[in-house]
Structure 1
Amino acid sequence: MGRAAAYALVTALVLFGVGFLVRSRWDPLIDLDDGVITRLTDVTRDHPGFRDALLTWQELTRPVYLHVVGTLACLLVWWRTGMRTRAWWAFATLMLSWSVGLGAKYVFQRARPVVEDPVSQAPGYSFPSGHAVNSAAWVTVLVVLAWPIVRARAGRVAMVAVAAAVVLVTAFDRMFLGVHYPSDVTVGVVTGTGLVLASYAGYTGWNPADPQPADDPDVDAGDRSTHPHPEEP
């Protein structure tokens, strides 16, 4: 549980620390954000095909779609492997990350980037990026969920590489479309990943890999052997 608290503390410090700088309009951060968005949207504006690809990715990675797929993955793992508590952990963590991302937007209430000739528009507040929070949480949950199932080293490496690529493409998609600042997506990725790490650390603390049998004289060794151990994290 100590690791869970540490991950949660670091995540909160990043979220609220950068959020404070955003709310106070700290000049170095604001200047960096504005400069990057101006340069990236200039690139998008000059390449219509690139813009179309970005808009397609934006639609595919909408949080509601990610969480529908994530929920189906949890159900599949539950059904095919019997890892019920792990599937419940994954589903609950996905819902937690979605809620935290939405709630943080209303706490900080940062306006979307203002671009002279916008290449895309999005409703709601800007900090942190909902796409970034949810994509980072989504891929991290799915990697952790599938880790005991994918036993080959090459498969695990490929799984992590694809997960990292999804997060990076989503983060740059938000900036090239001019709907989020670099600080929005950076904090979003840290928040989504940090929430999952904190949640998983708490889960492994609650559900240890090598549980010890209770010292109960009313339960003999034969009875204990008939009860399955909690599933491994």
Structure 2
Amino acid sequence: MPFGLLLLLVEAQWSPLLRADDAARDNLHAFALTRGGFVAVMEALSNIGRWWAYLICFTVVIGWLLWRRLVRLALFVVVTVGGSGLLNELVKLAVHRARPVLIDPIANETGTSFPSGHAQGAMVGYAVLLLVFLPVLHGAARPIAFTVAVLMVLAIGFSRVALGVHYVSDVLAGYVLGAAWVALMVASFNTWRREGGRGPADLAAGLEPEIGPGLDPREI
């Protein structure tokens, strides 16, 4: 519902939303033009959120899960992360919103704008990492992991607006769609667990909390 509302407001060119998008675009662009260090940091964050970075990361994660014979979790990662990318491309194709246009751009991207693939990918990617590895995180490690994940999701989304390649509404739509997709995949995973004779997972303890006692965090 939140994603549908955002889409309707974008398609209807709702004035308050357009003004907010334009103000963020113009103010951040003006700030970035004279600050090379800021631009470098934003580009680094943006690169962390690119598809090839996730490919490297999740190839390692999937390989580790298969090595530990955690096939169900490996399939969850493949479908959730891979399906998110496909979903984003389909929605972008349907909406076909042009990217921000700036007279003196500091970054250039091809393709359409809504929703932000970086924002959606960050939401899905960091959520999946938390859901998979929470069983082996204990004590202070859990809040630290949550904090790092939240900060990275926000920072990657912000970098896309700061570089002038997305509107704020694109980023918000990416967050919302990514969260909805993860929720759908978790519900499907819990159905799979019930069919296997287990109850639904307590997400605060990860998707497969039973694996925690048998795993050594140093093996990650």
Question: Which TM-score bucket, shorter chain as reference?
Answer: 0.7 to 0.9
Q: Does 1:130 align with 2:98?
A: no
Mean Cα deviation higher: 192-201 or 95-104: 192-201
Q: Does 1:38 align with 2:26?
A: yes
Match of residue 205 from structure 2: none
Give the TM-score taking structure 2 as reference length.
0.85
Q: What stretches of structure 1 move > 4 A for 4+ residues in a row?
A: 230-233
Match of residue 157 from structure 1: 143
Instruction: Please tell me whether the aligned partners of residues 84 and 121 of structure 2 are also in contact (alpha carbons under 8 angstroms).
Output: yes
Match of residue 48 from structure 1: 36
Q: Does 1:199 align with 2:185?
A: yes
Post-superposition shift, 1:208?
Answer: 3.0
The 1:199–1:180 alpha-carbon spacing in structure 2 relative to 1, beyond 3 Å, is: same
Code of the residue aligned with 1:156 in structure 2: it is R
Question: Which whole-Å CA distance do the structure 1 matches of 2:52 and 2:89 have between them?
Answer: 12
**Larger CA Rg, structure 1 vs 2:** 1
Q: CA-atom RMSD, angstroms? A: 2.0
Match of residue 131 from structure 2: 144
Q: Does 1:26 align with 2:27?
A: no
Query: Number of matched residues?
Result: 202
1:208 match: secondary structure: helix
Post-superposition shift, 1:207?
Answer: 0.6
Mean Cα deviation higher: 97-106 or 23-32: 23-32
Match of residue 95 from structure 2: 108
Question: Which whole-Å CA distance do the structure 2 matches of 1:185 and 1:121 have between them?
Answer: 17
Instruction: Please tell me whether the aligned partners of residues 63 and 135 of structure 1 are also in contact (alpha carbons under 8 angstroms).
Output: no
Post-superposition shift, 1:231?
Answer: 8.6
1:207 match: secondary structure: helix
Code of the residue aligned with 2:166 in structure 1: it is H
Instruction: Please tell me whether the aligned partners of residues 18 and 187 of structure 1 are also in contact (alpha carbons under 8 angstroms).
Output: yes
Query: Which of 53, 56, 67 is the matching residue for 1:65?
Result: 53
Question: Which whole-Å CA distance do the structure 1 matches of 2:153 and 2:78 have between them?
Answer: 19
Question: Which whole-Å CA distance do the structure 2 matches of 1:39 and 1:45 have between them?
Answer: 10
Where does structure 2 lack aligned partners over 5 or more consecutive residues?
Answer: 199-207, 212-220
- Cα distance per residue 1:117-156 (max 9 Å; x no partner): 2221111101000100111100001110112222x13111
2:114 match: secondary structure: coil
2:140 match: secondary structure: helix
Instruction: Please tell me whether the aligned partners of residues 66 and 135 of structure 1 are also in contact (alpha carbons under 8 angstroms).
Output: no
Match of residue 72 from structure 2: 85
Question: Which whole-Å CA distance do the structure 1 matches of 2:196 and 2:8 have between them?
Answer: 43
